[in-house]
Structure 1
Amino acid sequence: MSYTLERLRQGGVPPLLKGITDKAGWEAKRTDIRRRWHEAIGGIPPSVPVRYEVLAEEEEERHTRLHLRYETVYGDVVTAYLLMPKASPGLAGGKLPAVVALHQTDREGKAEIAKRTGRPNLRYGLELADRGYVVLAPDTITAGERIYEGAGAFQTAPFYERYPEWSAVGKMIADHRQGVDLLVSLDRVDAARIGAIGHSLGGYNAIFLAGADERIRAVVSSCGFATFTGDSNPGRWGRRDWFSHIPAISDALERGEVPFEWHEIAALAAPTPLFNWSGQSDSIFPHWQAIVQAMGDLHGLYDWLGAADRMLSLDGTSPHDFPLPVRAAAYAFLDMWLKGTGEAGKTEIQ
């Protein structure tokens, strides 16, 4: 079902479990949410076989950074950094947990989160590598080494010229699933312990990836969750003169509707462990009251599924950022669900 903007304005975030009395009812609703989601984003094509090439290799103090590119759907390639810890106790069989680290809206793309040149609060890819995770930090389309020739960063017009019936969101999910395929293929990675983390653009992409790929066993989103409810600019998700996420959203908005509420999309991943961080001083997503309401309703679903401890949503007074105390809590959350070695209380950032 779709929602009118007037209904969201008057009634707030629609309850996930309204009218649901048993697990079969929830699975039927989740199937309907997934159908509406895939219709909006233009679907997610199957992955292609894993093929990649290493372009360069650099040594850091505690990890090795590989510059590589790997094949993705429809003949495209993704550029990325793969960070391999030099020394780590690993898990059973000597394998390591891994994360797909997704960057925010920054033209530098992967470098911002995986190199020491990145902003201090956003080097989470590098920090996780130094904590013993294998980290894949890809460029999303329109950023880093994937800026279309003749276009600026985050200009999606060339993409839509080639794929008018698809969406940038569908493309990003397909590319990131291909990244999970790559991680699974590596001998040093424990395929049962792969997570996703991101800030802003990377935050909601991490949530989207978790909902599309059951191999993601824990997800962290920093300032990447918002709602249509309470948003004075819902058109941010549709057609724009720069990064157009989902063109179908604009068509729905012209009818005064939206095809889903965003916590429904996050619910596709439930009960995958989820850590969410939002700031009340976030100038990009300032409607924090509705965000808190949606997170509370989503936690109600986790609780109903018998997995209340798998979700942690923090709401603070910070701006659109990923401050150190929150990153420490996020890393402890990942340690708890991906390492399972009693390190959940270890919060120092090395």
Structure 2
Amino acid sequence: MKHARYREHVAGVVCLALAAAVAHAWPGYDFEQWRQVSTWTKPSLDTPQTGRADLVPLLELAGEPPGRIDEIRAWEQRTTEITDVISRILGRPNDLHAPPLEVRVLTEETHDDHVRQHIRIRSEPDDWIPAYVLIPRPLPAGPLPAMICVHQTSARGKDEPCGLTGKPDLAFARQLVRQGFVCIAPDMIGFGERIPDGTLPYHDSLAFYRRHPQWSFMGKMVWDMGRVLDYLETLPAVDPLQIGCIGHSHGAYTSLFAAAFDKRIAATIASCGFNTFRDDPDPHRWSHLTALIPQLGLYLPDKAAIPSEWHQLLAMIAPRPLFVWYATSDKIFPDTQGLDAVFHDVGTVYGLYGATDDLAWHSFDGPHAFPDTGRELAYRWLGERFFPAGYIATPPADLAQWEQCRPILQRRIRQTLGELPAQNPKLDVTIIETQRLDRYERRLIEYVVGPDERVRAYLCLPHARQTAAPAMLVLHQTVPEGKRESVGLTGDPRLAFAADLAERGYVTIAPDSITAGERIDRFGPFDTRGHYLRYPALSAMGKMLVDAQRALDVLAQTEGVDSARIGAIGHSLGAETALMLAAFDDRIQATVASCGYATFAAEKSRLRWARDRWFSYMPKLRGTFELGRLPHWDWDDVLRLIAPRAVLQHTTREDNIFPQSISAYEAGEQARTIWRLYGQEDRFANLLKPGRHEIARETLDEIYAWLDRQFRQ
């Protein structure tokens, strides 16, 4: 009790010191003494940022005139360089290897809506991280999202995020556990239980630097956050793909550094945690006034000599979700007026991944605080990116359970795809040319798919068609000729679906996909760099979905089309698009997908879906795949979302594009259970045929006969 009362006393001292913008170093820490203890030597780092008073644009390439990074590969090469520079400034520990994970539960208390455990996590052989773990009760089925709630610069440490003392505004763990998150609030080094009795924060910093003379407090905090992540990943109640961090002030910069260096952190919320070193009127706060990054002090007072900057650290987090709140009248981190430009620059990196929708920043005219308005925005933003409790990862037992799962699954896939437009402009369909063939008329048309973007497609209209005919959207494979193959003007005649079906009495439309046919831009066929420059918040797969929906709009307004009998068909790339379209657009009543995928779980080359150059379908998945993990959805889930509408999936055994193609057939059999729940199993056909990445003519006849049964009986 004596120590607890002392901590309450020094907390007031800490807050008063912060309010005065920390004019003097913390008692127990002295920069000159650090220099005597430390063996860290200032590296020679000649970086693009070195010597510049302004911030070097993140995507700028040296040269006259300067160039610009426009693909993920080049950016990730630069990220490696940035990471190396910041790592060298943070320093390295002295002969430290992560010990086996060891956790001790000291106490456990049950409250109305959660259980709170007091634990210790072994960080180093002779160092432990005290923490509180808050687990919702009653505990719902299925793993939950988790948040690491990092305290501000307060001697109270972890007590404040848990609402045990301090400011209610900063009780993140208590607030989020009530929203269904597992929360952990650790004491960072120099705070809470890690303050020696009778002292203030940072008091034992020199002892730390004697133990690790080439390291930094900031580096140690990144290490400790990694150990906290190691622990969270062992909890059955925690979804390891949904671990985020949140913090104000000290908690903010701790969270940002941790997220930059550990890709397991899936979302970050930071309030009032920094200003750029170059705009900071006193960057000595990082080196002389606190023990955080004393190495920075060797570059000062010449701020331009600092070889890295905050915008580079923030960009290391991309494309993972990042929310930042900052104050325009912040006396701890003053002169924040330049941060808006910083985040716009960081947004250019997010744009390479089609992920600008996951970067949010807000300023408010107020002091160093995270008020209700800011936290409400942050929690709403977080809730749009992390699953609610009760996600069903296994096939549901009944329709009621499936109806609960379905919208969550759609939402998760949408998050991967990016920000789909809420409204579409007027189609403005124009006929470019018309050609009359034996059984149908083929029109080359043009229509609007987005702002200042028009697409050309072939519209095939049978001569002798019913008053209201069935219609099919035909989506081509990965060929530069695009739509021309779909109507038999070039390429594989077995893939001339639009021409074949028009001869059978279907109205068909065959558009060019992005970067194909007449949509090839200066980067070349299926190079998506141009797409991400135009649509920085939308993946290429998301754009293909949006464009396919616009083609459906054209079909729906075409005279003589039965809007209740519209389907989609595609091979390879076209199959993927057709499945995704049917999963999100109920206007599709029958879908044919041929040789479209191997499941993520079986795929040996998963990064084909999130390439760093050329055709990058869904680049937000890169981090997940690079960690050797699987996302929350796979292609069998896409199939399930289409039920109970009709689907025919065609898979070949020796597919040379998708060597693990048998997994697609197996996914179909797993998805079949949903059709069975609806009593519509006869509407799902799952074909497994011999052959490579192709459709045999006899299989094509089987597919057309199946379509006729769906639309003509």
CA contact (8 A) 2:118 2:130 kept: yes
After superposition, the C-alpha distances for 1:231-276 in whole angstroms (9 at most, x for unaligned) are: 1101111133xx2111210112256511201110111111110000
Task: State whether residues 249 and 259 of structure 1, in contact with CA within 8 Å, keep that contact through their aligned partners in structure 2.
Answer: no
1:164 and 1:222 mapped to 2: Cα distance?
31
- CA contact 2:253–2:274 (8 Å) conserved in 1: yes
Residue 46 of structure 1 and its aligned partner are, at CA, apart by 5.3
Closer, same or farther in 2 for the Cα pair 1:290/1:46, shift >3 Å?
farther
* CA distance in structure 2 between the aligned counterparts of 1:337 and 1:321, rounded to whole angstroms: 24
Aligned to 1:246: 293
Structure 2 counterpart of 1:16, which letter? L
Alignment match, 2:110: 59
TM-superposed CA distance for 1:152, in Å, is: 2.0
Question: 2:60 pairs with 7, 18, 22, which one?
Answer: 18
Counterpart check, 1:102 vs 2:150: yes
Q: Secondary structure at the match of 2:351?
A: helix
- Aligned pairs for 1:207-218 within 5 A: 207-218=256-267
**What are the superposed Cα offsets for residues 35-74 of structure 1, whole Å, 9 maximum, x if unpaired?**
0011011137653322111111122221111011110134
2:104 maps to a residue whose letter is E
1:139 aligns with 2:139: no
Q: 1:204 to 1:99 in 2, by over 3 A?
A: same
Match of 1:79 in 2: 130
Deviates more, 1:42-51 or 1:223-232: 42-51
Q: Secondary structure at the match of 1:303?
A: helix
Cross-structure match for 1:173: 222
Letter of the 2:244 counterpart: G
Cα distance in 2 between the residues matched to 1:321 and 1:248: 28
Equivalence for 1:194: 243
Contact 1:97/1:134 (8 A) holds in 2: yes
Q: How many residues align?
A: 335
Give the CA deviation at 1:205.
0.9
Deviations 1:322-349 (A, max 9, x none): 10111111111221212164699xxxxx
Answer yes or no: is the 8 Å Cα contact 1:238–1:247 preserved in 2.
yes
The structural deviation recorded for 1:116 is 4.0
Q: How far apart are 1:88 and its partner, in Å? A: 5.0
Within the candidate set 37, 40, 45, 2:89 is matched to 40
What's 2:270 paired with? 221
- TM-score (norm. length: structure 1): 0.90
Amino acid at match of 1:307: A
Any gaps of 5 or more consecutive residues in structure 1? 345-350
Check whether the contact 2:187–2:193 (CA below 8 A) recurs between aligned residues.
Answer: yes
- Whether the aligned pair in 1 keeps the contact of 2:49 and 2:55 (CA below 8 Å) is no
Matched, 1:285 2:333: yes
Instruction: Look up the match of 2:663.
Output: none
Matched position secondary structure for 1:161: helix
Which one-letter code corresponds to 1:291 in the other structure?
L
- The percentage of aligned residue pairs carrying the same residue is 37
Q: Which has the higher contact order (CA 8 A, sep 6+)?
A: 1
5 Å-filtered alignment, 1:147-186, equals 147-149=195-197, 151-155=199-203, 156-186=205-235
Q: Work out the CA distance in 2 between the residues paired with 1:195 and 1:330.
A: 12
Distance 1:26 1:106 in 2: 37
Query: What secondary structure sits across from 1:330 in the alignment?
Result: helix
Deviation, 1:95, is: 1.0
- Gaps in structure 2 of 5+ consecutive residues: 1-46, 62-68, 389-407, 416-713
Is the 1:225–1:291 Cα contact (8 Å) retained in structure 2? no
- Is residue 98–residue 123 contact of structure 2 (8 Å, CA) maintained in 1? yes
What does 1:112-123 align with in structure 2 at a 5 Å threshold? Answer: 112-123=160-171
CA contact (8 A) 2:71 2:352 kept: no
Asked whether the equivalents of residues 72 and 352 of structure 2 are also in contact (C-alpha less than 8 Å), the reply is no
Report the 3-state secondary structure (helix = DSSP H, G, I; strand = E; otherwise coil) of the residue aligned with 1:313.
strand
Q: CA shift at 1:173, angstroms?
A: 0.5
